[in-house]
Amino acid sequence: MFNKILIANRGEIAIRIIRACRELGVKTVAVYSDADRRSLHVAMADEAYHIGPPAPAESYLVIEKIIDAIKRSGAEAIHPGYGFLSENYAFANICEKEGVVFIGPTSEAIRLMGDKVTARKIAQETKVPLVPGSEGAVSDVEAEVIAKRINYPVMVKASAGGGGKGMRLVRKEEDFKSSLRMARSEARTAFGDESVYIEKFIERPRHVEIQIIGDSYGKVLHLFERECSVQRRHQKVIEESPSPAISDATRKKMGEVAVRVAKAVSYRGAGTIEFILDQNGNFYFLEMNTRIQVEHPVTEMVTGFDIVKWMIKIASGEKLPFSQDDLSIKGHALECRVYAEDPEKNFLPSPGKIEYLRTPSGPGVRDDSSIYNGYEVTPFYDPMLSKLIVWGERREEAIKRMSAALQEYIVLGVRTNIGFLGRTMENEEFIRGEIDTGFIERHPELLPPSLEDVKPALIAAALAMRNSTQEIDTSKQAPLSNWKLLGRKLAVSRGPLI
């Protein structure tokens, strides 16, 4: 095992890795920008090096600064976490050349899977299903043949496209010709290029992914799936394992397929193969993430497999002692990402100082976070405050536990999506597992608070106003002593809400 590992990351994932290292008896080295001097990962690590200004481009993304910190600290290995340099094959390559162990796959595997076209090709070669469609641009005649073959509905998409322009959904054969014409015309206007390609349109797609783990000796196992369909603006919000949508047969097949892709690039460490799942249970390769995922805890909760610890063990040369049959899912786990954002204002980030924090606890509850009373949520980094993860014997139990845990959460100073998450846990469609990537858009009613709590909140506000007046009046009072309204009476005038 390594003596010392540098963690080229910040926030909750840096803390997650520090915890894994502490359990393994490995010393940790933190790096931090000016904005992170007061961050917990710095105080929790055994060593800490400053690497520059707050902007990631000037600190966490600067390869030379990370390499310099590795050399100064004498760390033998580097864990990239997620984001930042985690999928930068050039960085992994420099580490390899410098003789520093990169805790993750080889730079070659990162390079291959990082390029979407290459990744698709690898998937195709290993007989992994891809979303049916044309291979690149097509003529009018080819287009219609392919559309017929892959079956309607289909999408016509501008090859040079983006932003929805030159894109047409075609549901019936009779509409194809005119839609194709319009798409080409739009594409010509928007991009000066009328070439289009054809793709099967997936209705109500679900996002399901397979966690895989490989060692340096050719063994690759999968740790089953995670369903991450509840998203806003392609950002995952709620994840779970197992998926409520797939059968045991599909689970097995997806796992096998994922292992096949990973083996094709001699994959080492933890990785994720992302799939789109349609309403009939067909799944299609989307991409591979060659790093630890934000949502890895749900897999840890149901399998008992400590992914982060095993990444480190594998990087230090340990063999995976399990076979696929040793692994199984027990119960159900859910993760809610708590963001500093305002669901009512289109999930606008809400940076600021956390003036007060109470976090949930109890059986089956795990809160992976890096925040504290007084923590400053800066605009420089991702506004995720915490990952709240729960385990339950069954999905319904996990949902109720999440709901109860969210009730315990209190954050003052910044806006959060906690209320939205809580209402989602009580939504009938969500409870029935009827989720897809359009879930949040379809449920705007979950965004604002229900108004039934306005009145008690109002009473609390009035009591607080009254309390602060009292505190000024009674200056002899000790700072933490309390006043009592016991026996006093209260009245509220009819507000506009009754």
Q: Which residues bind its own copies (CB under 8 A)?
A: 15-16, 19, 22-25, 38, 44, 297, 300, 304-306, 308, 330-331, 359, 361-369, 374, 391, 393, 397, 400-401, 403-404, 407-408, 480, 482
CB of 397 to its own copies, least distance (A): 7
CB neighbour class for 298 (10 Å; exposed up to 12, middle 13-18, buried from 19): buried
Residues in the chain: 498
Torsion of CA 94, 97, 103, 107, to 10 degrees: 60
Closest to its own copies by CB, 157 vs 226, is 226
Q: Which of residues 1-40 bind another protein (CB under 8 A)?
A: 4, 27, 30, 37-38, 40
Q: Which residue has the tokens 């090709």?
A: 121
Give the residue among 36, 139, 137 at the shortest CA–CA distance from 84: 36
Is 291 catalytic? The answer is: yes
Closest to another protein by CB, 358 vs 394, is 358
CB of 300 to another protein, least distance (A): 25
53 interacts with another protein by CB under 8 A: no
Closest to its own copies by CB, 480 vs 497, is 480
CB of 450 to its own copies, least distance (A): 17
| d(C-alpha 273, C-alpha 254), whole Å | 9
| d(C-alpha 278, C-alpha 273), whole Å | 16
| d(C-alpha 313, C-alpha 298), whole Å | 20
DSSP state, 57? G
Q: Residue 401 touches which of its own copies, another protein, none (CB < 5 to 8 A by kind)?
A: its own copies
| d(C-alpha 498, C-alpha 495), whole Å | 6
Is residue 283 within 8 A of residue 249, CB to CB? The reply is no
CB of 88 to another protein, least distance (A): 17
Q: Which of residues 54-93 bind another protein (CB under 8 A)?
A: 72-74
Per annotation, catalytic residue among 111, 291, 337, 401: 291
CB of 491 to another protein, least distance (A): 4
405 interacts with another protein by CB under 8 A: no
Cβ-Cβ contacts under 8 Å for 385 (sequence gap 6 or more): 338, 339, 340, 354, 369, 371, 377, 411, 414, 416
Closest to another protein by CB, 306 vs 382, is 382
Which of 90, 169, 182, 492 lies at the binding interface for another protein (CB under 8 A)?
492
* Amino acid, res. 480: L
52 interacts with another protein by CB under 8 A: no
Closest to its own copies by CB, 480 vs 490, is 480
Binding span for another protein by CB under 8 A among 213-221, 277-285, 351-359, 386-394: 351-359
| d(C-alpha 493, C-alpha 476), whole Å | 34
CB of 353 to its own copies, least distance (A): 8
| d(C-alpha 299, C-alpha 292), whole Å | 12
Closest to its own copies by CB, 4 vs 19, is 19
The CA-CA-CA angle for residues 399, 405, 410, to 5°, reads 140
Query: Catalytic amino acids?
Result: 291
